[in-house]
Structure 1
């Protein structure tokens, strides 16, 4: 495993995006358990992109404007939905670490969808992984699988740290209603901004 790959992966994963935002939001609104579940969901959402890149399906998204635009706008719609539901949520936050299986399922499902509905992630994998696989190697597939798994592990660890930090400051946040309102509006605005950025994205 090259140092360049690890450094590049860490920089990419640590840069706040939709997955990190969702994990932080889960940590503040529902606590430690939900933040970890959200981090797992976002990490699982990488798998379809990883498979697409390794099997060459990313080439279809790269070559087909229709396929790319379809997935892109599905992602835009989902981010706008996240913004709307976050903005509409006016319930009080309470310190409660208990998370029902149904709630956990919804949290992990949303985390998966956030990453699955992002065609840029597939293109990213398609462009990123080959740079660290020497040409002419006989074990190209296993090499790409290993690099992808390392990328997922780093993603999980970084997102869990984001979530744990958010959960740690949760008590201070929920005791201030104005801060909670401001944060919800900020999260909603950020989801909307990310949707706008994705809508303007090109291959």
Structure 2
């Protein structure tokens, strides 16, 4: 079940820059290390519904129901565009600024969780990723799916924390310049908008 092949596969998937990574980096730069940790935690928690869906077979329903898939997908697209707008606003919740804007850690985590929850491809991803690494014993299939999913989540959290700490460490050097701050905000906004466009083109 738990093999080096699975760990390597999961690691490659986790380190690849995606929406959660971009969000964690943006939070680390804009709000510092503690906020980045909460962002990483939220993105990791957002995996749970998709893992449950894959384990219970609901991911197959999402894959076959065009209406359900499109509904979740475009909710995700709208949310990513909202995050892009928040990066551009001078008083936006995600705007990177030299002064740290107070925000509860749970709000930061909730935003990260929603990013993953509203991505329907994650459920289908787990449905495709995990079964090849199962032992083949039907009686233990569910427990094995949960265990592999838990390992994947732990790796996700660990890697995202490293991304966040790196961004927070670079914060003081980068945000000393107003020009760099504006460039960062516009760049992250463009990335979120591009991710929204990519999600909009996804098919079940």
TM over 0.5: yes
Corresponding residue of 1:173: 174
1:93 aligns with 2:97: yes
Counterparts of 1:112 and 1:138, CA distance in 2: 31
Task: State the shift of 1:142 in Å.
Answer: 1.0
Counterparts of 1:15 and 1:84, CA distance in 2: 24
Question: Higher mean Cα deviation, 24-33 or 132-141?
Answer: 132-141
Task: State the shift of 1:137 in Å.
Answer: 4.4
TM-score norm. by structure 2 comes to 0.94
Task: State the shift of 1:7 in Å.
Answer: 0.4
Task: State the shift of 1:176 in Å.
Answer: 1.0
Corresponding residue of 1:125: 126
Counterparts of 1:74 and 1:53, CA distance in 2: 20
Counterparts of 1:65 and 1:92, CA distance in 2: 38
Counterparts of 2:97 and 2:7, CA distance in 1: 38
Q: How many residue pairs get matched?
A: 200
Cα pair 1:31 1:95 within 8 Å, conserved: no
Corresponding residue of 1:6: 7
Counterparts of 1:5 and 1:169, CA distance in 2: 32
Gaps of 5+ in 1: none
Task: State the shift of 1:134 in Å.
Answer: 2.6
User: What's the CA shift string for 1:43-71, capped at 9, x where partnerless?
Assistant: 00000000000011101101100000000
Q: Map residues 113-192 of structure 1 onto 2, 5 A cutoff.
A: 113-192=114-193
Gaps of 5+ in 2: none
Counterparts of 2:96 and 2:59, CA distance in 1: 43
What is the Cα-based RMSD across aligned positions, in Å? 1.5
Task: State the shift of 1:95 in Å.
Answer: 5.6
Corresponding residue of 1:79: 80
Cα pair 1:72 1:119 within 8 Å, conserved: yes
Counterparts of 2:161 and 2:96, CA distance in 1: 24
Distance 1:172 1:139, change over 3 A: same
Distance 1:50 1:150, change over 3 A: same
Cα pair 1:27 1:34 within 8 Å, conserved: yes
1:22 aligns with 2:26: no
Counterparts of 1:71 and 1:138, CA distance in 2: 32
Counterparts of 1:185 and 1:95, CA distance in 2: 18
Cα pair 1:95 1:171 within 8 Å, conserved: no
